[in-house]
Structure 1
Amino acid sequence: MPFAQIAGNRLHYQLEGAAEAPVLVLSNSIGIGLEMWAPQVQALAPRLRVLRYDTRGHGASTSDQRATSINDLSDDVAALLDHLDIGSAHFCGLSLGGLTGQSFALRHPQRLQRLVLCNTSARIGSREGWSKRIDQVRNVGLARLATTVVPHIWLRPEWALAHPASCQVMVDLVGRSDLQGYIDCCQILRETDLNRCIPAIRARTWVISGRHDLAATVEQGQALQQGIAGAHFSEFDCAHLVNWECTSAFNEQLLAFLSAP
């Protein structure tokens, strides 16, 4: 597995696709690593260099130096691009990955081409909600949490019932996540509110919301779109994982957005 030494951590990444094509960074949600983007690789790789990575404390990435803010996570992306000698890239992030993308756009605008923000907002959840989540995972563990969160919040319950194998893959991936890495990111989400900052984003941006998303609602997605000058907005018939539930439409529209003049 390829790793980069970044900020005292080993960051696991995968770089696939056309060697001379534009680079697209894919940034994961809390509780799961780069595997969450598996439904995209085959469709995107013929036309893009797809760079997936595990956020600190997720997947095979370590968190010996624990992140304390969303800026740490976005700076990891810039350092990873440096490690791979990549000057600039497109960025697509979901949930926590979307917040990472907003921070990256604000802190490293010269490194960013186009920005895709999926199932996210400038402020995800509340301080009280994330504090309760931290207590919950400490008490019951991630494996138990995954059995309720994945099929009822991350995915539409009816979709999960119709696709039991895909749902179970996601449950297993979340259930195996590192507990401390998950808690670290819960703490970051508890403290992060970029509402006052997002008007400074200048990259061409596409905001995506899920019609049935309880974690990052359509209204929050629309507010995010309205806060970024010239941003586009789309609503998909899904819950929190648009790339998982609406794979074909998402892949097709993502390629169209990134390749449009």
Structure 2
Amino acid sequence: MTRFARVNGLVLHYRLEGAGPPVVFINSLGSDLRIWDAQAQGLTPYFQVLRYDKRGHGLSEAPPPPYTLADHTQDLKALLDHLALEQVSLVGISVGGLIALDFARTYPERTRALVLMDTGARIGSVESWNERIRAIGETSLAEVAKGVIARWFTPAFFREQPATAQGYYQMLARTPVEGYIGTCAALRDADLRGGLGAVRAPALVLCGAQDPSTPPSLSEALAQELRAPLRLLEGAAHLPCIEQPEATLSEIRAFLEVYGGR
């Protein structure tokens, strides 16, 4: 069921489904909670699944930029408080993975387990994020999205599922500009390298084997810092949850069966 809550000074859109130990899914930059449809459907018989649109995305409110990683983390905490969810497992992809990491190190007592997908302790550089913000200002998000979407999926996906790829381009291009730029600023300024010692939850690192945005080498460095296993998902680029939904679900479910509180 689609629901809305005013938390941490803004309205967030969320869906809460199923019953059992709670699992929270956190989306990537320029996407919304629908990227997790397949995984939510597969987990709701066993877990309580919370998905939400982070600030500036989907149906959630888009306050003026810039945002910080701490803004996103406090949004998540406030939503969990609102729903009276005390301890959760977190599944985050790209910037969603950074939010999950920041939450886990800030609130270790509330974090049961972590699945970190196509992410890293540091994503991109100050220069790369400033360049993207500048390009959006000079052209449009719809124009910049043409290059971004090419890194979301493998060439095979564009050939074999062109309508689906176009649909996800529309999701990206229609993201509120304030939210997209605001989260670019959060990514620009976020650097958790060497700062994950407070993370106590067991973790699994997943990455699309053909991801050019957050490549396997970045996931490998994260897995080493967390002393966590790394699994590469073949036939996937930056969003394996869409491109390889069954393989992604299988990895997440197997991990949560052990560490997610069931």
Question: How high is the TM-score relative to the length of structure 1?
Answer: 0.94
Q: 1:167 to 1:245 in 2, by over 3 A?
A: same
Q: Which residue does the alignment assign to 1:254?
A: 252
Q: Which residue does the alignment assign to 2:67?
A: 68
RMSD: 1.4
Unpaired runs of 5+ in structure 1?
none
Deviation at 1:68, TM superposition (A): 3.1
Q: Which runs of 4+ in 1 moved over 6 A?
A: none
- In 1, Cα distance between equivalents of 2:7 and 2:109: 20
CA contact (8 A) 1:56 1:66 kept: no
CA contact (8 A) 2:63 2:179 kept: no
Q: 2:192 aligned to 176, 194, 201, which one? A: 194
1:84-99 counterparts in 2 under 5 A? 84-99=83-98
CA deviations 1:59-79 (Å, max 9, x no partner) are 111133756321221121111
- In 1, Cα distance between equivalents of 2:16 and 2:64: 24
Deviation at 1:39, TM superposition (A): 2.2
1:212-231 counterparts in 2 under 5 A? 212-229=210-227, 231=228
CA contact (8 A) 1:78 1:111 kept: no
Q: Say whether 1:51 aligns with 2:50.
A: yes
Q: 2:163 aligned to 162, 165, 182, which one? A: 165
CA contact (8 A) 1:16 1:45 kept: yes
Q: Give the stretch that moved more between structures: 249-258 or 62-71.
A: 62-71
Deviation at 1:160, TM superposition (A): 1.6
CA contact (8 A) 2:108 2:198 kept: no
SS in 2 for 1:203: coil
**Equivalent AA in structure 2 for residue 239 of structure 1:** A
Q: Which residue does the alignment assign to 2:16?
A: 15
**Equivalent AA in structure 1 for residue 71 of structure 2:** D
- In 1, Cα distance between equivalents of 2:112 and 2:54: 21
CA deviations 1:103-122 (Å, max 9, x no partner) are 00011111111101000000
- In 1, Cα distance between equivalents of 2:214 and 2:41: 27
CA deviations 1:209-254 (Å, max 9, x no partner) are 222111111111010001013x111111211001111110110121
1:37-48 counterparts in 2 under 5 A? 37-48=36-47
Q: 1:23 to 1:65 in 2, by over 3 A?
A: farther
Q: Give the aligned length.
A: 257
- In 2, Cα distance between equivalents of 1:218 and 1:52: 25
1:200-215 counterparts in 2 under 5 A? 200-215=198-213
- In 1, Cα distance between equivalents of 2:45 and 2:16: 13
Q: Which residue does the alignment assign to 2:145?
A: 146
Q: Comparing both chains, which one has the higher relative contact order based on Cα–Cα distances under 8 Å and sequence gaps of 6 or more?
A: 2
**Equivalent AA in structure 1 for residue 167 of structure 2:** V
Q: Give the stretch that moved more between structures: 166-175 or 59-68.
A: 59-68
- In 2, Cα distance between equivalents of 1:26 and 1:12: 13
SS in 2 for 1:200: coil
Q: Say whether 1:183 aligns with 2:181.
A: yes
SS in 2 for 1:198: coil
Deviation at 1:147, TM superposition (A): 2.8
CA contact (8 A) 1:69 1:188 kept: yes
SS in 1 for 2:86: coil
**Equivalent AA in structure 2 for residue 233 of structure 1:** L
CA contact (8 A) 1:9 1:65 kept: no
**Equivalent AA in structure 1 for residue 219 of structure 2:** G
Q: Which residue does the alignment assign to 2:35?
A: 36
- In 2, Cα distance between equivalents of 1:144 and 1:67: 21
- In 2, Cα distance between equivalents of 1:65 and 1:135: 16
Q: Which residue does the alignment assign to 1:4?
A: 5
